[in-house]
Amino acid sequence: MNSFDFTKRNIRRTPYQALAASMVMFLTFLTLSLFIMMAFGSQQILRFYESKPQAIAFFKDGTTSTDVNAIKNALTQTDKITSFKFVSKDEALQIYKQRNKGNPMLLELVTANILPASLEISTKSPDDLKFVAEIVKKEPVVEEVVFPEDVVASLTQATSLIRMVGIAIVGFLIAFSTLIIVMIIGFKIRIKRDEIETVKLLGATNWFIRMPFLLEGIIYACLGAILGFIVSFLIFWYFESVLKTNLGEAVQNIIPLPIIFIGELLAIELLVAFLVGGLGSIIAVRRYLRI
Amino acid sequence: MISFQNVTKKFSSNILALEDINLDINKGEFVFLVGPSGAGKSTLLRLLAREYLPTSGKILIDNIDVTKLKPQDLPNYRKKIGFVFQDFKLLDDRTVFENVSLALQVRQLPDLEIEKEVERTLKLFEIWNRRNLFPRQLSGGEAQRTAIARAIIGKPEVLLADEPTGDLDPQTAWSVLSLLGEINSWGTTIIMATHNKEIVDVQKRRVISIKDGKITKDKSEGKYEFH
């Protein structure tokens, strides 16, 4: 019989505490998983926009194809353009309908007249976007020009916010989980005091006595991490189609999630679980187990 | 083999458990420790098991000073010593088989070897048919046999028994004593603290009487008396 058998016996003997510890760990690691996924996702979307030099010019009502062609000609002469794509009001409505097909209320309120026609302008380099945008802005038929600088700035801000909030919440939960492990393992050491005394008199080494408690904390943490990992993927899977519809090709790198990312996430979570469970148990053993 | 040299144990400045104990016990001896409650019998046994350290003096076993052992040396030292208690100290959530196995598990022996040795010992102690029962399902005699089996399965050189018959009816107490006698005949030194006058008087073995922390008598074929 090895330390794992002693650990199994400890867990079986107090199943409610085992459940409580694993549930707290589950919450911690579910949150950790979700924040890592959000940070990874926003980073990938950011990269997508950074790597795709495109500006979109929205036209005022009444803009004719002659006006649009004039702009195209002017831009082509700059030798910085790779392609144009004109999106008419009707096409804009189709795109809107496609993105909001699950929400009839939104579909009812919008007609083709409300949506502006636009011209998607792709440049050879992201550095050319500002130059191109300045030219297009001067055209009287152009209402607004949007290019990734705005999107990238917003996304960068969102990504750093997700990171900061994530680090704060996950940090708090990790500290909380460690304390829960200290409390539960400490309690188990107390209720097994007589048993520890007996085993000690039989000649058990310190590690023989400590190891089952250390393993117990690590098992709770790893179990919570695996459950949190699985549930976070179920949540992501549930929202996958919504993300795809709303963000289109911007999420092409994260749907489906890359295998390498999944493997890395699992490895990170198990490593953190090992450290949290191990640290909590070590603190409890040092504090409560006087051998 | 075992030697107490000027051993004194104080638990606090006012409580003197043992005072200037000088005592030699030879290998293979069977010794009774007698005395009233609180005389210091259990303290003497616990000093020998290195549960306590003496306030002063030396305790030698095979010329090794037990009081000087480092914490990391204690597990190996304790494997040489078996301990039997009045309240058995069996683990409630383990069967008879598992309780006895524990003594070999701490020695980290292979499972197969443990199983064989436990089977042999339980058969020898006539509790093999109780192997799957838990301590609460055992009679007092069976529980004490299990505790003794656990104490001796690792083949200790010394068996310390603290009131092993204290909670048993006379008939069971005699059977436990007979078992201890048999273990002693294998060469194991036995030191047994007891209040059982009848057993001590009939056995005609060495009796060490303790009162108020001092040895008052030490006779080779002694009787239960400590005045």
SS3 B49: coil
Token representation of residue B13: 């400045």
Cross-chain residue pair B91–A13, CB shorter than 8 Å: no
Could you tell me which of B162, B12, B138 has the C-alpha nearest to residue B87? B162
Q: Say if A1 is an interface residue toward chain B (CB within 8 Å).
A: yes
- Could you please report the per-residue DSSP string of A62-120? T--HHHHHHHHHHHHTTT-EEEEEEE-HHHHHHHHHHHTTT-HHHHHH--TTTSPPEEE
SS3 B58: strand
Cross-chain residue pair A204–B83, CB shorter than 8 Å: no
Could you tell me which of A118, A119, A116 has the C-alpha nearest to residue A75? A119
Q: Are B50 and B66 in contact (CB under 8 A)?
A: yes
Q: For chain B, what percent of residues have pLDDT higher than 90?
A: 67
Whole-prediction pTM value?
A: 0.72
Give the strands of the sheet with B64-65, arranged side by side: B16-25, B2-10, B56-61, B64-65
pLDDT at A55 exceeding the cut of 90: no
Instruction: Provide the β-strand partners of residue A45.
Output: none
Return the H-helix or E-strand segment holding A203. none
Residue of B nearest to A201 (CA): B78
Judging contacts by C-beta atoms under 8 Å, the chain B residues touching residue A203 are: 75-79, 103, 106-107, 154
Place of tokens 């790597």: A51
Residue of B nearest to A291 (CA): B71
How far is A208 from B36, CA to CA, in rounded Å? 37
Judging contacts by C-beta atoms under 8 Å, the chain A residues touching residue B75 are: 203-206, 208
How far is B175 from A232, CA to CA, in rounded Å? 64
Token representation of residue B73: 């040396």
Residue of A nearest to B100 (CA): A202
What class, spelled out in words, does domain B1-80+157-227 have in CATH? alpha beta
Kindly report, residue by residue over B132-153, the tens digit of the pLDDT. Answer: 999 999 998 899 999 999 999 9
Between B188 and A95, residue with greater pLDDT = B188
Identify the pLDDT of residue A137: 86
Cβ neighbours of B69 (radius 10 Å): 17
Separation in Å, CA A81 to CA A71, A88, A218, B216:
12, 20, 57, 111
How high is the mean pLDDT of chain A? Answer: 85
Separation in Å, CA B221 to CA B40, B202, B224:
21, 10, 10
Residue of B nearest to A3 (CA): B105
In the chain, the amino acid numbered A84 is: F
Distance from CA of A27 to the nearest CA of B (A): 32
The percent helix, strand, coil of chain A (3-state, each to 5) is 75, 10, 15
Count CA atoms within 13 Å of residue A104 on its CB side. 0
Identify the pLDDT of residue B149: 93
At B227, the pLDDT band (50, 70, 90 cuts) reads low
How far is A176 from A170, CA to CA, in rounded Å? 10
pLDDT at A107 exceeding the cut of 80: no
pLDDT at A1 exceeding the cut of 60: no
Phi, psi of B7 (to 5 degrees): -85, 125
**Lowest model confidence (mean pLDDT) among A75-79, A86-90, B13-17:** B13-17
Task: Considering only the beta carbons, identify the residue of B93, B101, B150 that sits closest to A13.
Answer: B93
pLDDT at B208 exceeding the cut of 90: yes
Phi, psi of A189 (to 5 degrees): -60, -40
Mean pLDDT value across residues A145-169: 79
> Which of B80, B87, B102 has the highest number of chain A CBs within 10 A, making it the mutation to test binding with A?
B102
Residue of B nearest to A205 (CA): B75
Cross-chain residue pair A9–B93, CB shorter than 8 Å: yes
pLDDT at B48 exceeding the cut of 60: yes
The sign of the torsion formed by the CA atoms of B206, B199, B158, A202 equals: negative
CA B182 to chain centre: 15
Straight-line distance from the first to the last Cα atom of chain A, in angstroms, rounded to the nearest whole number: 22
Between A187 and A249, residue with greater pLDDT = A187
At A291, the pLDDT band (50, 70, 90 cuts) reads low
Place of tokens 């273990």: B183
The percent helix, strand, coil of chain B (3-state, each to 5) is 35, 25, 35
Start and end residues for every CATH 3.40.50.300 domain found in chain B:
1-80+157-227
Q: Say if A200 is an interface residue toward chain B (CB within 8 Å).
A: yes
Return the H-helix or E-strand segment holding B39. none
Could you tell me which of A215, A283, A200 has the C-alpha nearest to residue A6? A215
Residues of B with CB under 8 A from a CB of A: 49, 51, 71-72, 75-79, 83, 89, 91, 93, 101-103, 105-108, 111, 114, 150, 154
Phi, psi of A243 (to 5 degrees): -65, -40
Mean pLDDT value across residues A167-180: 89
Cβ neighbours of B70 (radius 10 Å): 7
Residues 6+ apart with CB under 8 A from A7: A212, A215, A216, A219
How far is A265 from A70, CA to CA, in rounded Å? 51
Mean pLDDT value across residues A53-78: 86
At B204, the pLDDT band (50, 70, 90 cuts) reads confident
Identify the pLDDT of residue A240: 82
Token representation of residue B165: 């018959």
Task: Considering only the beta carbons, identify the residue of B91, B93, B111 that sits closest to A1.
Answer: B111
Could you tell me which of B4, B44, B86 has the C-alpha nearest to residue B211? B44
Phi, psi of B183 (to 5 degrees): -60, -40
Q: Are B154 and B79 in contact (CB under 8 A)?
A: yes
Judging contacts by C-beta atoms under 8 Å, the chain B residues touching residue A195 are: 91
At A257, the pLDDT band (50, 70, 90 cuts) reads confident
Instruction: Provide the β-strand partners of residue A55.
Output: A121
Identify the pLDDT of residue A121: 87
pLDDT at B108 exceeding the cut of 60: yes
Q: What domains can be seen in chain A, in order of their start residue?
A: 3-49+152-288 (no CATH), 53-147 (3.30.70.3040)
Token representation of residue B208: 């060490």
Phi, psi of B19 (to 5 degrees): -130, 120
The sign of the torsion formed by the CA atoms of A251, A253, A259, A264 equals: negative
Across chain B, where does the E strand assignment appear? Answer: 2-10, 16-25, 30-34, 56-61, 64-65, 81-85, 158-162, 189-194, 206-211, 214-219
